[in-house]
């Protein structure tokens, strides 16, 4: 009894294991929601700029319509953001949107068979949209920043080096495209990258490395398809095998899922902590 206080949740009164359990239930009911929650967590974090030190997951600003209107976030305002509202309402002010969105990403990755990515709590929401960064910080699948060759590895490096990621981390993070699909109603692209879009595995890399990817003949944006026409790759995905410094990591992860899981876990944890301060390592699984 003397140590009963140890049983209390440690951080701000929120039981993050319970929050994770509620997010898991949403994904168990509809596994296709898992990948979209991973995309939400990544887009909530990927606005970080290491020079100006603004953006990142810290303020939970992706909930604001100003940020949801950014081209790269198409679809999230009608899907993943509203899916999280009941969870937010249940825990109230003690749970920040910023913590909720980043926790949703790691819960989804684990629920879909991926690694248990370390996660820390303590993000404090920005109260108004003035903390929203300018549009254009997330990678475009076909168009780089002004002046950059869109099909060039330079676009990927410009965007991800700005967040503080190197070539190996860029490739590891891209393996998240094992999950989910493109929706014509969101990005305009169409189809899944792998035949198992609700399973986190290294298939994205093996398919990139082994399939003959050709231009899809259709009215939508330029994308690639396999011979069976059931899978897709974006122009930016193909960059990872067109550039030798990227390709060596694609080949490595295609052969070695354990190394992919370990490297992805480190890089995704780093991604989710961009633009944060004062976090506390938190047991959520």
Half-sphere exposure of 241 (CA within 13 A, CB side): 21
To ligand DDH, the closest distance from the beta carbon of 23 in angstroms equals 15
Q: Is 3 a catalytic residue?
A: no
- Residue of this chain nearest to ligand DDH (CB atom): 180
> 133-138: which pairs have CB atoms within 8 A and are 24 or more residues apart?
133/47, 133/49, 133/54, 133/55, 133/61, 133/67, 135/69, 135/70, 135/71, 135/72, 136/70, 137/46, 137/47, 137/48, 137/49, 137/55, 137/162, 138/43, 138/46, 138/47, 138/70, 138/72, 138/73
Based on the shown chain and the rule CB under 6 A, indicate whether residue 42 belongs to the binding site for ligand DDH.
yes
List binders of ligand DDH among 179-198 (CB under 6 A). Answer: 179-183, 186-187, 189
- Of 42, 83, 119, 193, the active-site residue reads 193
Q: Residue 193 is encoded by which pair of tokens?
A: 């990258």
Residue whose CB is less far from ligand DDH, 176 or 279: 176
Which one of residues 20, 26, 39, 202 is an interface residue with ligand DDH (CB under 6 A)?
39
Q: Is 193 a catalytic residue?
A: yes
Q: Which stretch binds ligand DDH (CB under 6 A): 84-92, 96-104, 110-118, 173-181?
A: 173-181
List binders of ligand DDH among 113-142 (CB under 6 A). Answer: 139, 141
Which letter, b or e, does each residue of 54-81 get, where b requires 16 or more Cβ atoms within 10 Å of its Cβ?
Answer: bbbbbbbbbbbeebbebebbebbbebbb
To ligand DDH, the closest distance from the beta carbon of 187 in angstroms equals 3
List binders of ligand DDH among 225-244 (CB under 6 A). Answer: 234, 236
Q: Which H helix or E strand runs over 191?
A: strand 191-192
Based on the shown chain and the rule CB under 6 A, indicate whether residue 91 belongs to the binding site for ligand DDH.
no
Which one of residues 38, 84, 100, 250 is an interface residue with ligand DDH (CB under 6 A)?
38
Please list the active-site residues: 43, 193
């Amino acid at each position: 009894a003397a140590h009963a206080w140890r049983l209390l949740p440690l951080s701000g009164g929120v039981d993050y294991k319970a929050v994770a359990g509620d997010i898991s239930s949403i994904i168990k009911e509809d596994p296709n929601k898992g990948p979209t929650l991973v995309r939400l967590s990544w887009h909530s974090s990927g606005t970080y700029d290491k020079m100006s030190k603004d953006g990142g997951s810290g303020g939970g600003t992706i909930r604001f319509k100003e940020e949801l209107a950014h081209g790269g976030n198409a679809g999230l305002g009608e899907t993943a953001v509203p899916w999280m509202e009941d969870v937010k309402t249940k825990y109230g002010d003690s749970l920040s949107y910023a913590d909720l969105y980043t926790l949703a990403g790691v819960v989804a990755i684990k629920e879909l068979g991926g690694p248990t990515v370390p996660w820390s709590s303590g993000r404090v929401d920005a109260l108004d949209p003035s903390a929203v960064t300018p549009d254009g910080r997330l990678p475009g699948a076909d168009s780089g920043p002004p002046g950059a060759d869109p099909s060039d590895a330079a676009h990927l490096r410009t965007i991800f080096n700005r967040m503080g990621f190197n070539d190996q981390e860029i490739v590891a993070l891209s393996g998240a495209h094992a999950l989910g699909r493109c929706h014509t109603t969101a990005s305009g692209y169409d189809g899944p990258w792998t035949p198992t879009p609700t399973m986190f595995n290294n298939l994205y890399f093996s398919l990139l490395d082994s399939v003959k990817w050709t231009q899809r003949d259709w009215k939508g944006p330029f994308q690639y398809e396999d011979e069976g026409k059931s899978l897709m790759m974006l122009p930016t995905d193909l960059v990872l095998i067109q550039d030798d410094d990227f390709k060596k990591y694609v080949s490595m992860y295609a052969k070695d899922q354990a190394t992919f899981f370990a490297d992805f876990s480190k890089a995704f944890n780093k991604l989710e902590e961009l633009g944060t301060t004062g976090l506390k390592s938190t047991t959520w699984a």
